[in-house]
């Protein structure tokens, strides 16, 4: 029958170990306490002004709402790992990613030598009128929802590339090639931006698209000459149309101003002519009244006025007295233009 060791023997064997532990504790207990305190506060961190922190407790987000889940700038107290895990998210930083899924991946020489497009080596999209275009896109984004971004499965750049590619393909499919290559880029980018943001919201990626830039939008290199010719013709037609419109905008007001000026001038001439005619009519009526009252005096005055007007237009002047008598029939006066003496003649010598 086997007998177990008595407690006294166990104590005798453990005594050396106990003495070693006791000595170690006497010398190092302050260090142990300091390490425990340091570990207890190791979860405390300082969040910068451009960051937002999210706390995971045993792998689950702390807080029921986004306002409680996100911690702003300042001192954040959390339990040490593995209890809590603090994820810092730079929400004010703008990231940039190049999306080349719709761009050619072959060399320019290979593109120029081939008349076909291989979707595995050359990305492209179709416009609304079934033309082919290739695009290079630069997407700039920031983190809007720190909790969604921190725990979303795929990488943010991969999600953004997929959404940008899908949005560009759909947006290009709604417009024609002429508008895309001419003056429709702004509308195209606006439509694609709205679709990208809607896609990011649906998949809860926690991202906000800051801007979408088309660095290249062109037909395939093998067809660039034909597309450039069409685009040049379109631009030329638009230029002529705008020039004609600008000319019309200048010419129509000028014509209206000239028409108004001519109308005003005609009105003024009409008023002047009417006033002159009224004055002459009034003068003739007065002359007729005077003639009826004293015919001989009026005839004498009219005769003298006529002679004075004729004499003022002649060079040499010779006075011819009026005929004697009461008749003036067949009186003729000739006033040559070059200095010859005037002559008066009648049907009879005694006149």
pLDDT at 311: 73
Q: What is the mean pLDDT of residues 114-135?
A: 77
User: pTM here?
Assistant: 0.50
Identify the residue with better confidence: 63 or 251: 251
Task: Please tell me which residue, 43 or 250, carries the higher pLDDT value.
Answer: 250
Contact 135, 214 (CB under 8 A): yes
Top-confidence residue, 81 or 195:
195
Give the model's pLDDT for residue 341: 47
- Closest of 136, 139, 191, 143 to residue 160, by C-alpha: 139
pLDDT digits over 326-351, tens only? 555 665 656 555 444 444 444 444 33
Judge if 341 and 304 occupy the same domain: yes
**pLDDT, averaged across the chain:** 76
Count of domains for the chain: 3
Residue 185 corresponds to which tokens in the numbers above? 């880029």
**276 domain-assigned:** no
pLDDT for residue 262: 93
Is the separation of the CB atoms in 331 and 346 below 8 Å?
yes
| 120 found inside a domain | yes
Indicate if 136 and 175 belong to the same structural domain: yes
Q: Do 128 and 81 fall into the same domain?
A: no
CA 274 from centre of chain: 58
Same domain, 170 and 211: yes
Whether residues 81 and 120 fall in one domain: no
Do residues 100 and 42 share a domain? Answer: no
Among candidate residues 11, 2, 148, the one with its CA nearest the CA of residue 66: 148
83, 149: one domain: no
- Has residue 29 been placed in a domain? yes
Can you give the pLDDT at residue 8? 61
Domain membership of residue 225 (yes or no) is no
What residues make up the domain containing 27? 16-89
Residues 197 and 307 in one domain: no
Place 30 in a pLDDT band, splitting at 50, 70 and 90: low
CA distance 158 to 160: 5
* Reduced 3-state DSSP string for the chain: CCCCCCHHHHHHHHHHHHHHHHHHHHHHHHHHHHHHHHHHCCCCEEECCCCEEEEEECCEECCCCHHHHEECCEEECCCCCCCEEEEEECCCCCEEEEECCCCECCCHHHHHHCCCCCCCCECCEECCCCCEEEEEEEEEEEECCHHHHHHCCCCHHHHHHHHHHHHHHHHHCCCCHHHHHCCCHHHHHHHHHHHHHHHHHHCCCCEEEEEEEEEEEECCHHHHHHHHHHHHHHHHHHHHHHHHHHHHHHHHHHHHHHHHHHHHHHHHHHHHHHHHHHHHHHHHHHHHHHHHHCHHHHHHHHHHHHHHHHHHCCCCCCCCCCCCCCCCCCCEEECCCCCCCCEEECCCCCC
Domain boundary among the residues 74, 89, 104 is at 89
The reply to whether 46 and 83 lie within a common domain is yes
74 in any annotated domain: yes
Which of 89, 107, 136 corresponds to the end of one domain?
89
- Residue 243 within any structural domain of the chain: no
Report yes or no on 350 lying in a domain.
Answer: no
Tell me, yes or no, whether 213 and 187 share the same domain. Answer: yes
Q: What pLDDT does 128 receive?
A: 85
Where a domain ends, among 89, 109, 143? 89
In CATH, what number is assigned to the domain containing residue 108? 3.30.479.30
Indicate if 71 and 124 belong to the same structural domain. no
Q: Are 144 and 185 in contact (CB under 8 A)?
A: no
- Whether 55 and 147 map to the same domain: the answer is no
pLDDT for the residue numbered 344: 43
64 in a structural domain? yes
Q: What are phi and psi of 282, to 5 degrees?
A: -65, -40
């Amino acid at each position: 029958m086997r007998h177990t060791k008595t407690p006294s023997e166990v104590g005798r064997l453990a005594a050396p170990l106990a003495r070693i532990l006791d000595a170690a504790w006497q010398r190092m207990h302050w260090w142990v306490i300091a390490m425990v305190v340091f570990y207890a506060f190791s979860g405390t961190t300082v969040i910068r002004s451009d960051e937002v922190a999210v706390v995971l407790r045993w792998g689950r987000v702390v807080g029921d709402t986004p306002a409680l889940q996100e911690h702003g700038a300042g001192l954040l107290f959390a339990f040490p790992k593995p209890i809590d895990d603090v994820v810092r998210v730079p929400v004010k930083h703008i990231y940039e990613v190049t999306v080349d899924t719709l761009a050619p991946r072959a060399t320019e020489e290979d593109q120029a030598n081939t008349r076909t497009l291989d979707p595995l080596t050359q990305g492209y999209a179709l416009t609304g009128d079934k033309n082919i275009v290739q695009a290079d896109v630069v997407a700039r984004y920031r983190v809007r929802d720190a909790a969604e971004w921190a725990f979303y499965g795929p990488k943010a750049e991969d999600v953004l590339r997929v959404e940008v590619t899908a949005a560009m393909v759909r947006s290009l499919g709604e417009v024609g090639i002429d508008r895309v290559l001419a003056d429709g880029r702004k509308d195209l980018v606006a439509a694609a931006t709205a679709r990208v943001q809607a896609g990011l919201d649906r998949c809860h990626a926690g991202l906000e698209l800051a801007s979408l830039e088309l660095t290249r939008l062109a037909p395939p290199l093998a067809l660039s000459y034909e597309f450039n010719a069409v685009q040049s013709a379109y631009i030329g037609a638009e230029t002529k149309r705008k020039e004609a419109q600008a000319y019309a905008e200048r010419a129509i007001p000028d014509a209206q101003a000239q028409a108004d000026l001519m109308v005003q001038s005609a009105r003024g001439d009409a008023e002047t002519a009417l006033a002159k005619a009224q004055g002459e009519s009034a003068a003739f009526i007065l002359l007729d009244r005077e003639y009826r009252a004293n015919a001989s005096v009026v005839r004498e005055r009219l005769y003298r006025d006529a002679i004075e007007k004729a004499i003022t237009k002649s060079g040499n002047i010779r006075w011819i007295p009026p005929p004697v008598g009461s008749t003036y029939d067949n009186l003729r006066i000739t006033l040559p233009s070059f200095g010859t003496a005037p002559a008066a003649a009648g049907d009879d010598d005694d006149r």
